[in-house]
Chain A
Amino acid sequence: MLFRNSLTYLLFFTLSVVASMAQADVVVVVSSKSSITTLTSEQTAKIFLGKVVTFPNDQPAFPVDQPEGSEVRDEFYAKVTHKNSSQLTAYWAKIIFTGEGRPPQLLSGNVAVRKAIANNPNAIGYIDESAVNKSVRVVLTP
């Protein structure tokens, strides 16, 4: 009897480890020194797609990206802009090759994004929820 329960338990344990590692809850953050407290998905999408260069309060907005192919980046863009990575590449290709603009600056990962944002009240980025600390404020959980 104990043996049977152990097996089921082992299965449950494995599944929950896998599930919590696969779960990358992305959040959108600004510096804790920023005056922005909340943003909608639409407003965030416009900033990251280069359609607007200011926050709704007319302060300059400086978006930063994570590397292409990273899970947190793909999840952010899928949830906020409804674009997968090919659609996003096609979107920026059209803008770059017609001389209309360029994509956000690329930083190396969650901690790099958080540190850069903490130091710049105009910056906005997306990181894994687990990387959030007091130096940044969550303005959107997509």
Chain B
Amino acid sequence: MNKKYCLVALFWLTVKIPLAIAAPNDNQNTGAEKSDAAPVALASHTIDSPTFTYGGFGSLGVSHSSQDLGDYVLESTMPKGAGRSYSWSASNNSRLAAHVNANFTPKVSAIFQVITEYHSDGTFRPEIEWANIKYALTPNAYVRAGRIALPTFLDSESRDVGYTYTWVHPPVDLYHQLIIPSSDGVDAMYRFEIGEAENSIKALYGTNTLDRPTSVSTSNDLWGIFDTLELSRTTFHAGYQRRNSSSQNLLTGVIGPWIPNSDLSFGALYDPGDWFAMSEWIQRRSKSKVEAMYISAGYRINKYTPYVTYSQNSTGSFLPGYTTPTAAEFKSANRSQSTVSLGVRWDFMKNTDFKLQYDQVTLSDNSNGYLINVPANVNLYGSTFHVISAVVDFVF
């Protein structure tokens, strides 16, 4: 009997003591305020002097390709890659960027971003990726002027920020079709709610000059319209972009004709938190029409996100209204390949991740795929090779 009452009393104490330890007692806060208990003013809506915030991101990675008769590159601007030029390439996956955000008034702000990555001239010289001033008409609408990275495909604007996506790089079979990275001009964005969903629509207009070692490509009347619809865990994206581009051969001085280019893209993403699935499809038209797509899924267990992707691009089909394609043009239109990728992302430390990815690339008939620097008359049609990449991404 005594023991029972003892236990009940001790049980009551057991409940009360931990609660007293865990909960601050407000009765103690009369009189002088404690150090972090002084009232904190929230940032006022008037800013007296410009505030600058600095940050940046980068990736350090290596990749190896089993196909040593050609170079595997991630973007069309890279002059060399893994395979023939380098057994282990660090150029594919390494870059560093510095970013400044300036807030001048509550409505006027600017960003400036410089990135060093592997360029078409083989150097890592810094280049300005973003440099624009934004005027926020309302918290849901803005206009910008300056250099604006193009949102041609779903992850185009942030394709260099490895930390923002699961893969080593947005699927190459599709993203290799991204030729023009940014526009010098203006854009405007407006977002609004449709029931429970948020919709944001963006319109852009500008020009671009793309310098390569042996040619300069000029794009005028570059315009695009892009829409993103988000509902709970689902995101839909659609974009249409056009430009007239002409290329000047720097060796001969010959200026090519103006060719209308268009990029149509659709994307969908479902991400409830524990796992994700996403897909994108694009169609590019210049003198030929090419399509590309990917589908990808992954799931998150603790700090690991294993994922799998299937991607492919089609053989280009020539569009009517142009002169008969030359043999070289045929060859550059036949770059169809497909890739199966398996990888894992490991968020091992704050603001940093590590990724390991294995890609199995299958080249179509009559195609060397996106391989470059393949010796003349070497025919890798129909073959399969694999690429292994290991990358560390960070943001600061």
Chain B 158-204 residues near chain A, CB threshold 8 A: 158, 161, 163-165, 193, 196, 198
- Given A85-B350, A116-B39, A123-B42, check contact A97 B158 (CB 8 Å): yes
B163 touches A64 (CB 8 A): no
Flag whether A7 is at the interface (Cβ < 8 A).
no
B14 touches A99 (CB 8 A): no
Q: In this complex, which of B26, B164, B232, B350 has the most chain A Cβ atoms within 10 angstroms of its Cβ?
A: B164
B36 touches A112 (CB 8 A): yes
Chain B 319-340 residues near chain A, CB threshold 8 A: none
Which residues from chain A contact B15 at a C-beta distance below 8 Å?
Answer: 16
B113 touches A97 (CB 8 A): yes
CB distance from A58 to the nearest CB of B (A): 11
A96 touches B99 (CB 8 A): yes
Chain A 104-134 residues near chain B, CB threshold 8 A: 105, 107-109, 111-112, 115-116, 119-120, 123, 130-131, 133
A20 touches B19 (CB 8 A): yes
- Given A97-B57, A99-B132, check contact A21 B350 (CB 8 Å): no
Flag whether B157 is at the interface (Cβ < 8 A).
yes
Residue of chain A at shortest CB distance from B351? A89
- Given A42-B196, A94-B164, check contact A107 B40 (CB 8 Å): yes
Which residues from chain A contact B99 at a C-beta distance below 8 Å?
Answer: 96-97
Residue of chain B at shortest CB distance from A18? B18
Flag whether B149 is at the interface (Cβ < 8 A).
yes
Interface bits B14-41 vs A (CB < 8 Å: 1, else 0): 1101110111101000000010111111
Is chain A's binding surface mostly helix, strand, loop or mixed? helix
Among B42, B232, B347, B353, the residue within 8 A (CB) of A42 is B232
Question: How far, in whole Å, are A46 and B231 apart by their CA atoms in the complex?
Answer: 10
A9 touches B10 (CB 8 A): yes
B26 touches A133 (CB 8 A): yes
A89 touches B39 (CB 8 A): no
Flag whether B84 is at the interface (Cβ < 8 A).
no
CB distance from A131 to the nearest CB of B (A): 7
Interface bits A21-54 vs B (CB < 8 Å: 1, else 0): 1010000000000000000001000100001110
CB distance from B44 to the nearest CB of A (A): 10
Among A2, A69, A86, A111, the residue within 8 A (CB) of B37 is A111
Residue of chain B at shortest CB distance from A110? B24
B193 touches A52 (CB 8 A): yes
A116 touches B164 (CB 8 A): no
Among A13, A53, A94, the residue within 8 A (CB) of B14 is A13
Question: How far, in whole Å, are A19 and B17 apart by their CA atoms in the complex?
Answer: 12
Residue of chain B at shortest CB distance from A40? B196
Flag whether B257 is at the interface (Cβ < 8 A).
no
Question: How far, in whole Å, are A105 and B42 apart by their CA atoms in the complex?
Answer: 8
- Given A82-B272, A85-B350, A120-B42, check contact A96 B55 (CB 8 Å): yes
Question: How far, in whole Å, are A123 and B40 apart by their CA atoms in the complex?
Answer: 12
Flag whether B101 is at the interface (Cβ < 8 A).
yes
Flag whether B111 is at the interface (Cβ < 8 A).
yes
Which residues from chain B contact A76 at a C-beta distance below 8 Å?
Answer: none
B36 touches A17 (CB 8 A): no
B232 touches A5 (CB 8 A): no
A130 touches B158 (CB 8 A): no
Which residues from chain B contact A51 at a C-beta distance below 8 Å?
Answer: 198, 230
Question: How far, in whole Å, are A17 and B16 apart by their CA atoms in the complex?
Answer: 10
Among B10, B18, B40, B351, the residue within 8 A (CB) of A112 is B40
A16 touches B14 (CB 8 A): yes
Residue of chain B at shortest CB distance from A14? B14
- Given A108-B36, A115-B40, A116-B39, check contact A93 B164 (CB 8 Å): yes
Known: A16-B18, A96-B99. 13 other contacts (CB 8 A): A1-B3, A2-B3, A17-B14, A20-B19, A46-B198, A87-B300, A90-B164, A93-B161, A99-B101, A112-B37, A120-B42, A130-B23, A130-B24
Q: Which residues of A contact B (CB under 8 A)?
A: 1-2, 5, 9, 12-13, 16-17, 19-21, 23, 42, 46, 51-53, 62, 64, 68-69, 81-87, 89-91, 93-94, 96-99, 102, 105, 107-109, 111-112, 115-116, 119-120, 123, 130-131, 133
Q: Which residues of B contact A (CB under 8 A)?
A: 3, 7, 10-11, 14-15, 17-19, 21-24, 26, 34, 36-43, 53, 55, 57, 97, 99, 101, 111, 113, 130, 132, 134, 139-140, 144, 149, 157-158, 161, 163-165, 193, 196, 198, 230, 232-233, 272-274, 300, 303, 347, 350-351, 353, 395
CB<8 Å pairs between A and B, sample of 14: A13-B14, A16-B15, A16-B18, A20-B19, A62-B42, A81-B273, A83-B273, A85-B350, A86-B303, A89-B351, A90-B164, A97-B161, A99-B144, A107-B40
